[in-house]
Amino acid sequence: MTSSPLSRPRIWLALLLALGGLLRLLDLTDPPLDFHPTRQLRNSIIARGIYYELLPNADASTRDLAASIARVPARYEPPVTETLVALTYLVVGGESTMVPRVYGTIFWLLAGLCLYNLARRITDSSIAALLSLAYFLVLPFAVQASRSFQPDPLMTSAAFIGIYFLYLWSESITNYQLPISQSTSWKLAIIASILIGFATFVKIFIGFIVGGAAVAIVLFTLGWKFWRSPQVWTMAAIMVIPAFLFYFTGDRGNSTEYITNWSLDMLKLITSGDFYTKWLAFLGSLFGQTFIFLSIAGTLLAAPRGRALLIGLWAGYLLYGLSVPFQMYTHSYYHIQLTPIIALGLSPLAEAIVTKALSGAPRSLGSAVEGRLLGETRIWQAALTGLVVLVIGFQAYVARSVLLAEDFRHEPAYWQAVGEAVPADADVIALAQDYGYRLMYYGWRRVGLWPLASGLAELRGNKLNAEKIFAESAADKDYFLVTLFSQLDKQPDLKKILDQYPIAAQGDGFVLYDLR
């Protein structure tokens, strides 16, 4: 083996983590409209409601309005990230878009550190682990998604930190050459199960992936006699019970509605071949199809324990995708948890390349020939290192460009102006962007929502009957606000109805109809 610029893993690890953190901390003060604004504004609204509820000296009317608006978004999972952010608002002295982005960055970097160590254990190569980590940290989609204000970054990070400890548990059980005691394996089991159970509690859909990983690792470690192990049953209980209690017992919020509307009602999609082509094409736009197939190839090349883990992860992801088929080709953030799976799968393939790249000159060729070949090898190793740095740098530049491509700082003032045009005590229904969340968050106006004409509605066979919906939902309202004119054009029957009413206020990008 020869020395290589890549043979200093600690330096490269620090540089990669610094780069990943820096990318995610760019443009911190821009409003959370850069990535799935509906979801980010939903969390912002709920966090603000919690913040004003906890704020000791909050104005009573402001607290009540914040709480009223916070009750509008459906509650599909417990407000873990929202509560954490609200508590931090108290510390920093008010709401700030920076808070959730900093938290998302910290979560992702911690997960990246565990991913690096896990890849190193699977491949026994620090350089391969670094390449896996580089993909995890600088992939443009991952940079955007991991800093967004929603539960998914915390869910993914906690899950894969837990999977790392689950892998350590497996090693502690089967690698008898290591001086690991029974108490150590118990500690690892408890840590892994708490983290995985917490991730499933944050958002239950990660249960497919962590479940696949846990089953694969347990079967690899203990075989079919796993049922004799008290550690296995303890881990299973800790992983399952918190999420089970929240999502399937007591006050479940809207989780049952979600399962019915987005899982059971959409299962018909999985019978169509078009669904799978859309799914794969969508993944290609996020992760690069070449990297997806290389990761699957790396899974097959991995050492037995690592191969078992990766197969379990991929199987869990496949089951997860079949459970929410519509989101698989429409909602990019539903795939954030695939990022570490692909990154980890790349590491065995990277190990094979690294092994070849770092191999020295063959022996028994004579000192002169060996010296010349050794010099050539070092040149090609340096060239390979330069290529790796160039690719990482390019992807980092793309990620940076995506973050800075749009500036949304004008949006709050605009929606504040719209909010001022709507009487504070009025009962309003709206055809507005992002389910009206922009108006509710920035304009401080609670509104009812008029349904959208969308592909999802057509898929469900829901044909909008404007007269019926208006009679049921809008006739008793004070005002009808329109800010989404593209939707109004798609609903000519609604437009005819609204033309019968006088305009109470009108401005740049909005019309307020008086229904009284």
Q: How far apart are CA 117 and CA 126, in angstroms?
A: 8
Residue 454 pLDDT? 73
Specify the amino acid at residue 47: A
H or E segment at 511? Answer: strand 510-514
Q: What is the pLDDT of residues 102-152, one digit of tens each?
A: 999 999 999 999 999 999 999 999 999 999 999 999 999 999 999 999 999
Q: Crossing angle for the helix pair 152-174 and 207-222, nearest 10 degrees?
A: 0
Burial class (CB in 10 A: 0-12, 13-18, 19+), 304: exposed
The rounded distance, in Å, linking the Cα atoms of 113 and 160 is: 10
User: Strands 503-507, 510-514: parallel, antiparallel or unpaired by DSSP?
Assistant: antiparallel
pTM metric for this prediction: 0.92
d(CA 421, CA 113): 50
Q: What does DSSP assign to residue 473?
A: I
Q: Which residues contact 472 (CB under 8 A, 6 or more apart)?
A: none
Length of the chain: 516
CA separation for the pair 287, 280 (Å, rounded): 10
The rounded distance, in Å, linking the Cα atoms of 99 and 226 is 43
Question: Taking the chain (516 residues) in consecutive chunks of 10 residues, what is each chunk's mean pLDDT?
Answer: 63 96 96 96 98 96 96 92 98 96 98 98 94 97 97 98 97 63 86 98 96 97 91 96 89 62 76 94 96 97 97 98 93 96 97 78 53 66 86 95 94 96 93 95 95 72 82 90 94 94 94 94
Residue with tokens 């793309």: 398
Torsion on CA atoms 277, 282, 283, 289, rounded to nearest 10? 70
The pLDDT tens digits of the residues spanning 455-501 come to 666 666 667 788 999 998 888 899 999 999 999 999 999 999 999 99
- Exposure on the CB side of residue 281, measured as CA atoms within 13 A: 8
Number of alpha carbons in the 13 Å side-chain half-sphere of residue 441: 28
Q: Which residues contact 25 (CB under 8 A, 6 or more apart)?
A: 101, 102, 105
Return the DSSP state at 205: G
Task: For the chain, give percent helix, strand, coil, nearest 5.
Answer: 75, 5, 25
Q: Which of 131, 125, 119 is nearest to 160 (CA)?
A: 119
pLDDT for res 374: 59
Task: Identify the burial level of 274 via C-beta atoms within 10 angstroms of its C-beta, where 0-12 means exposed, 13-18 middle and 19 or more buried.
Answer: exposed
Alpha helices in 76-139 (DSSP H): 80-92, 98-123, 126-138
Q: What percent of the chain has pLDDT over 70?
A: 89
Question: Nearest-CA neighbor of 388 among 357, 344, 361?
Answer: 357
Distance CA(381)–CA(358), nearest Å, equals 7
As a three-state string, the secondary structure of 404-418 is: HCCCCCCHHHHHHHH
Strands (E) in 421-491, as ranges, are 428-431, 448-449, 479-482
Q: What is the dihedral of CA 279, 291, 196, 246, to 10 degrees?
A: -20
Amino acid at 326: F
The predicted pLDDT at position 180 comes to 47
